[in-house]
Structure 1
Amino acid sequence: MAASPCQSPEPDAQTPLLDDVVDGAVDHKGRPVHRSRSGGWRSARFIIGVEVAERFAYYGIGSNLITFLTGPLGQSTATAAENVNIWSGTASLLPLLGAFVADSFLGRYRTIVYASLLYILGLGLLTLSAVLSSSEIQLLHKADTSLVFRHLELISLMSQIQRSAKPKAHFSIGGTSVTLILLTYIQDNLSWGLGFGIPCIAMVFALLIFLLGTRTYRYSIKGDEESPFVRIGRVFVAALRNWRTSPSAVTSEEESRGILTHKSSEQFKFLNKALLAPDDLKENRKVCTIVDVEDAKAVLRLFPIWVTCLAYAVVFAQYSTFFTKQGATMDRTIVPGFNVPAASLQTFISIAIVIFLPIYDRIFVPIARYVTGKPAGITMLQRIGTGMVLSIILMVIAALVEMKRLKTAKDYGLLDTPSATVPMSIWWLAPQYLLAGIADGFTMVGLQEFFYDQVPNELRSVGLALYLSIFGVGSFLSSFLISIIDDITSLAGESSWFSSNLNRAHLDYFYWLLGGINDGVEGTVDHKGRPVHRSRSGGWRSARFIIGVELAERFAYYGISSNLITFLTGPLGQSTVTAAENVNIWSGTASLLPLLGAFVADSFLGRYRTIVFASLLYILNAINFGPKLKQGLGLLTLSAVLSSSEIQLLHKEDTSLAFRHLELISLMCQIQRSAKPEAHSSIGGTSLTYILLTYIQENLSWGLGFGIPCIAMVFALLLFLLGTRTYRYSINGDEESPFVRIGNVFVAALRNWRTTPAAVTSEEESRGTLPHESSEQFTFLNKALLAPDDLKENRRVCTIVDVEEAKAVLRLFPIWATCLAYAVVFAQCSTFFTKQGATMDRTVVPGFDVPAASLQILSSIAIIISLPIYDRIFVPVARSFTRIPSGISMLQRIGTGMFMSLISMVIAALVEMKRLKTAKDYGLLDTPSATVPMSIWWLVPQYLLTGISDVFTMVGLQELFYDQVPNELRSVGLALYLSIFGVGSFISSFLISVIDDITSLPGESSWFSDNLNRAHLDYFYWLLGGISLVQLVVYLYFAKSYIYKSHDLEKF
Structure 2
Amino acid sequence: EKLELVDGKVNWKGETAVKHKHGGLRAALFVLLAFAFENLANLHLAVNLTTYFNGILHFEVSDAANALTNFMGTGYILSIIFAVFADTYIGRFKSILISGSVEFLGLALLTAQAHYSSLRPPPCNVFDPTSRCEKLESSDTVFLYVALYLVAAGMAGIKASIPSHGADQFDEKDPREAKTMSSFFNGLLFALCIGGAVSLTLYVWLDDHKGWDVGFGVSAIAMFLALIVAVLGWPLYRIHVVQGSSVLLELIQVFVAAIRNRNLKLPENPLELYEIDKDKEAALEDDFLPHRDVYRFLDKAAIKTASEKPNPWKLCRVTQVENAKILLGMTPVFACTIIMTLCLAQLQTFSVQQGLTMDTTIVGSFHIPPASLPIIPVVFLIFIIPFYDQIAVPLLRKVTGHVTGISHLQRIGVGLILSSISMATASIMEVKRKSVARDHNMLDALPVLQPLPISVFWLSFQYFIFGIADMFTYVGLLEFFYSEAPQGIKTVSTCFLWTSMALGYYLSTILVQIVNRATKHITNSGGWLAGNNINKNHLNLFYLLLALLSLVNFCVYLFVSSRYKYRSKN
The alignment's TM-score, normalised by the length of structure 1, stands at 0.47
Q: C-alpha displacement at 1:935, in angstroms?
A: 0.4
SS at match of 1:783: helix
Q: 1 or 2 for the larger relative contact order (CA 8 Å, sep ≥6)?
A: 2
1:639 aligns with 2:113: yes
Structure 2 counterpart of 1:755, from 239, 242, 264: 264
Partner in structure 2 of residue 88 of structure 1 = none
- How far apart, in 2, do the equivalents of 1:541 and 1:886 lie? 21
1:713 aligns with 2:223: yes
- How far apart, in 1, do the equivalents of 2:273 and 2:137 lie? 69
Partner in structure 2 of residue 1007 of structure 1 = 528
Work out whether residues 518 and 535 of structure 1, in 8 Å CA contact, stay in contact via their aligned partners in 2.
no
Structure 2 counterpart of 1:826, from 344, 351, 355: 344
Q: C-alpha displacement at 1:793, in angstroms?
A: 4.8
- Deviations along 1:25-44, whole A, 9 cap, x unmatched? xxxxxxxxxxxxxxxxxxxx
What is the correspondence of 1:451-850 to structure 2 with a 5 Å cutoff? 519-523=3-7, 524-534=9-19, 536-620=21-105, 632-643=106-117, 646-648=120-122, 651-654=136-139, 655-677=141-163, 678=166, 680-681=188-189, 682-732=192-242, 736-756=245-265, 759-762=266-269, 764-765=271-272, 773-788=290-305, 791-793=308-310, 795=312, 797-850=315-368
Q: C-alpha displacement at 1:994, in angstroms?
A: 1.4
Q: 1:529 to 1:939 in 2, by over 3 A?
A: same
Q: 1:951 to 1:664 in 2, by over 3 A?
A: same
Partner in structure 1 of residue 569 of structure 2 = 1047
- How far apart, in 2, do the equivalents of 1:556 and 1:767 lie? 49
Work out whether residues 11 and 238 of structure 2, in 8 Å CA contact, stay in contact via their aligned partners in 1.
yes
Structure 1 counterpart of 2:385, from 854, 858, 867: 867
Q: List gaps (5 residues or longer) in structure 1.
A: 1-516, 621-631
- How far apart, in 2, do the equivalents of 1:763 and 1:944 lie? 52
- How far apart, in 2, do the equivalents of 1:926 and 1:891 lie? 47
Q: 1:881 to 1:859 in 2, by over 3 A?
A: same
Work out whether residues 785 and 799 of structure 1, in 8 Å CA contact, stay in contact via their aligned partners in 2.
yes
Q: C-alpha displacement at 1:522, in angstroms?
A: 3.2
- How far apart, in 2, do the equivalents of 1:1017 and 1:555 lie? 30
- Deviations along 1:318-355, whole A, 9 cap, x unmatched? xxxxxxxxxxxxxxxxxxxxxxxxxxxxxxxxxxxxxx
Partner in structure 1 of residue 406 of structure 2 = 888
Q: 1:1029 to 1:747 in 2, by over 3 A?
A: same
SS at match of 1:828: helix
Q: C-alpha displacement at 1:872, in angstroms?
A: 5.8
SS at match of 1:933: strand
Q: Highest Rg: 1 or 2? A: 1
Q: 1:854 to 1:950 in 2, by over 3 A?
A: same
Q: 1:536 to 1:656 in 2, by over 3 A?
A: same
Work out whether residues 861 and 947 of structure 1, in 8 Å CA contact, stay in contact via their aligned partners in 2.
no
SS at match of 2:362: strand
- How far apart, in 1, do the equivalents of 2:199 and 2:459 lie? 19
Q: C-alpha displacement at 1:878, in angstroms?
A: 5.5
- How far apart, in 2, do the equivalents of 1:881 and 1:952 lie? 19
Work out whether residues 520 and 531 of structure 1, in 8 Å CA contact, stay in contact via their aligned partners in 2.
no
Q: 1:583 to 1:717 in 2, by over 3 A?
A: same
Partner in structure 1 of residue 170 of structure 2 = none
Amino acid in structure 1 at the alignment position of 2:6: E
Work out whether residues 41 and 219 of structure 2, in 8 Å CA contact, stay in contact via their aligned partners in 1.
yes
Q: 1:763 to 1:684 in 2, by over 3 A?
A: closer
Q: C-alpha displacement at 1:726, in angstroms?
A: 2.7
Q: C-alpha displacement at 1:590, in angstroms?
A: 0.9
Partner in structure 2 of residue 629 of structure 1 = none
- How far apart, in 1, do the equivalents of 2:380 and 2:5 lie? 39
Identity %: 32
SS at match of 2:348: coil
- How far apart, in 2, do the equivalents of 1:839 and 1:723 lie? 46
Q: C-alpha displacement at 1:656, in angstroms?
A: 3.8
Amino acid in structure 1 at the alignment position of 2:91: G
- Deviations along 1:690-741, whole A, 9 cap, x unmatched? 110000100111100000011122233233233333333334578x543333
- Deviations along 1:753-783, whole A, 9 cap, x unmatched? 1123xx33246347799xx943333111111
SS at match of 1:529: coil
Partner in structure 2 of residue 902 of structure 1 = 420
**What root-mean-square deviation, in Å, do the aligned CA atoms of Structure 1 and Structure 2 show?**
2.6
Partner in structure 2 of residue 856 of structure 1 = 374
- How far apart, in 1, do the equivalents of 2:522 and 2:415 lie? 40
Q: 1:652 to 1:688 in 2, by over 3 A?
A: same
- Deviations along 1:915-955, whole A, 9 cap, x unmatched? 00000000011223321110011111111111111121112
Work out whether residues 408 and 477 of structure 2, in 8 Å CA contact, stay in contact via their aligned partners in 1.
yes
Q: C-alpha displacement at 1:841, in angstroms?
A: 0.3
Work out whether residues 275 and 317 of structure 2, in 8 Å CA contact, stay in contact via their aligned partners in 1.
no
Work out whether residues 542 and 726 of structure 1, in 8 Å CA contact, stay in contact via their aligned partners in 2.
yes
Work out the number of aligned pairs and report it. 516
Q: 1:768 to 1:704 in 2, by over 3 A?
A: closer
Work out whether residues 6 and 19 of structure 2, in 8 Å CA contact, stay in contact via their aligned partners in 1.
no
Q: C-alpha displacement at 1:845, in angstroms?
A: 2.6
Q: 1:984 to 1:880 in 2, by over 3 A?
A: same
Partner in structure 1 of residue 176 of structure 2 = none
Work out whether residues 10 and 17 of structure 2, in 8 Å CA contact, stay in contact via their aligned partners in 1.
yes
Work out whether residues 859 and 944 of structure 1, in 8 Å CA contact, stay in contact via their aligned partners in 2.
yes
The alignment's TM-score, normalised by the length of structure 2, stands at 0.84
Q: 1:591 to 1:700 in 2, by over 3 A?
A: same
Q: C-alpha displacement at 1:645, in angstroms?
A: 8.3
SS at match of 2:13: coil
- How far apart, in 1, do the equivalents of 2:272 and 2:22 lie? 47
Work out whether residues 866 and 951 of structure 1, in 8 Å CA contact, stay in contact via their aligned partners in 2.
no
Q: List gaps (5 residues or longer) in structure 2.
A: 123-133, 167-184, 277-288
What is the correspondence of 1:924-963 to structure 2 with a 5 Å cutoff? 924-929=442-447, 930-963=450-483
Q: C-alpha displacement at 1:795, in angstroms?
A: 4.6
Work out whether residues 79 and 159 of structure 2, in 8 Å CA contact, stay in contact via their aligned partners in 1.
yes
Partner in structure 1 of residue 438 of structure 2 = 920
What is the correspondence of 1:331-370 to structure 2 with a 5 Å cutoff? none
Q: 1:942 to 1:764 in 2, by over 3 A?
A: same
Q: 1:861 to 1:760 in 2, by over 3 A?
A: farther
